[in-house]
Amino acid sequence: MRYAGIGASPANVQFPEPLMNFEGQLMTRATPPKHNPGLFKRNPPIAGEAEAIEAAKNGDAEAFSKLYTLHKRRVYTLCLRMLGNVSEAEDMTQEAFLHLFRKLGSFRGESAFSTWLHRLTVNLVLMHLRKKGLNLVSLEETINPSEEDSPRRDFGSRDPVLAGSVDRVSLERAVALLPPGYRMVFVLHDVEGFEHNEIATMLDCSTGNSKSQLHKARLRLRELLRQSGQPQPGQSAEAVQ
Amino acid sequence: MTLPRKINFDTLKPEEFEHLLPDLFATGDGKVSQDPRLKKFLAQHPDCAALVSDLEAIAEHARSLFEPVGDPSDKVWTNIQSKLREEAAHSANGESTEEDPDEDPEN
């Protein structure tokens, strides 16, 4: 089966990376893209992927289906982490692959395909949030958090360190509780491995702002993880242990 | 926000350290606890050392969240296929296809 769409799509517009600013406007890099070695390391080429990409570019529906199978989990996970909502994450996964289908012709292999696809997905999610309007609140929270929203400063406390008690499940729960703006920067940097300058471009803020908000996100996570490790009302300390 | 050129790590106060932390984490490999310039300071300020240790643990464990949590439901692929068929039919009829998400619909 062949889809007519790829050849007929406006994918002939050349852009090295699917990089959009926060207004959803397409941006092209003035200089060659700096490859993030971390992302390449975490996104090694997948057997058969290159062939599937080329075939899908030519409208091969089976090849596109293969690309979906190879990447659906990662794309969905990324959407879920950024949005914190299953239904929205599925909608954005759908949009990401539709967008991929239309833009696949512009993929030139200058970065790992999965890196390119992740960036495309991040841009779509950011655009979606912007259009929704809700994000304006959450991103304001990221860029200009109020004092009440900022994590507590607790150098004076003598709580035991978390180091030995952080695990994937507890961290996942805590990340889901982060305000959307903090969660966005944390997921982009610490989970997805984007650099601060890349995040700054995507969120249309300064690099310093990205660093600062990441720090605040981690501080908030520390608080949340500590709270989750404390006995809940009506629960004995032994029960928690 | 970048690290000031001259920082006297020997006379650093916890408040100043807190202010510098985002940049300290952003430079190098993010292992603030291993920074030789901070060895003495962290030894003298166990609360700051505990904070650094916690934040490093959080950043370290964040990498594990990169791994996928699960599959989207089957309806996602069904919807994609249906949309693509629709677009292909429109395209064959010479009609304009789906809106391009790169375009700002507000314009």
pLDDT in tens, B82-107: 999 888 888 777 765 544 544 332 22
CA distance B107 to B78: 31
How close B42 gets to chain A, by Cα (Å)?
A: 12
Residue B52 placed within a domain: yes
Q: Tokens 């314009």 identify what position?
A: B107
Nearest to A203 by CA among A217, A216, A190, A189: A189
| Residue bearing the bigger pLDDT, B42 or A133 | B42
> Is domain A21-132 classified as CATH 1.10.1740.10?
yes
Selected residue of A39, A76, A103, A224 to mutate for chain B interface (largest B Cβ count, 10 A): A76
Under an 8 A CB cutoff, do A172 and B1 touch? no
A 115-134 residues with CB below 8 A of B? 124, 127, 131
Give mean pLDDT, residues A149-175.
66
Q: Is residue B60 a part of any domain in this protein? A: yes
Interface ipTM above 0.90: no
For the full predicted model, state whether its pTM sits above 0.90.
no
Residue with the two structure tokens 């069904």: B78
Sequence spans of domains, chain A: 21-132, 165-229
CATH 1.10.3720.10 assigned to domain A165-229? The reply is: no
Q: Give the dihedral of Cα atoms A214, A218, A219, A220; nearest 10 deg.
A: 100
Residue B47 or A152, more confident: B47
Q: Mean pLDDT of all residues in chain A?
A: 73
B98 falls within a domain: no
- Torsion angle, CA of A48/A50/A54/A56, rounded to 10 degrees? 60
Q: Are B58 and B52 in contact (CB under 8 A)?
A: no
Number of domains, chain B = 1
Query: What is the Cβ-side half-sphere exposure of residue B54, based on CA atoms within 13 angstroms?
Result: 26
- The predicted pLDDT at position A47 comes to 79
Whether B5 has a pLDDT exceeding 70, the answer reads no
Are residues A171 and B65, on separate chains, in Cβ contact within 8 Å? yes
Both tokens of residue B43? 């030894």
A8 in contact with B at a CB cutoff of 8 Å?
yes
Domain with B89 in it: 1-93
DSSP state of A159: P
Burial annotation A198-226 (CB, 10 A radius, 16+ → b, else e) = bbbbbbebebebbbbbbbbbbbbbbebbb
What gap in Å lies between CA B31 and CA A75, rounded to an integer?
A: 29
Nearest to B69 among A77, A99, A163 (CB): A77
Residue B74: predicted pLDDT: 96
Between positions 147 and 176 of A, the ones with CB within 8 A of B are 153, 155-159, 161-163, 166-168, 171-172, 175
pLDDT value at A101 more than 60: yes
